Amino acid sequence: MKKVHIQIEDNVHTKAKVLSVLKGVTLNEYFEKALEMAILKDKEVLEKIKQ
């Protein structure tokens, strides 16, 4: 597993933290799921690279 350091605006962090608590997941799990969804959304870009 890789670790990354990112900077985000305070209000984005606060909203993400509140949502993660309401969903019963860690903030890390919340961000990981959000990244997975973004990757799926852009999967055609990855497909073009493979070719």
CA angle 43, 28, 3 (to 5 degrees): 80
Asked whether the beta carbons of 17 and 27 are under 8 A apart, the reply is yes
pTM of the entire predicted model? 0.80
pLDDT in tens, the chain (51 residues): 999 999 999 999 999 999 999 999 999 999 999 999 999 999 888 888 877
**Which pLDDT score is estimated for 30?**
98
The DSSP line for 28-47 is HHHHHHHHHHHHHHTHHHHH
Tokens 């900077």 correspond to 7
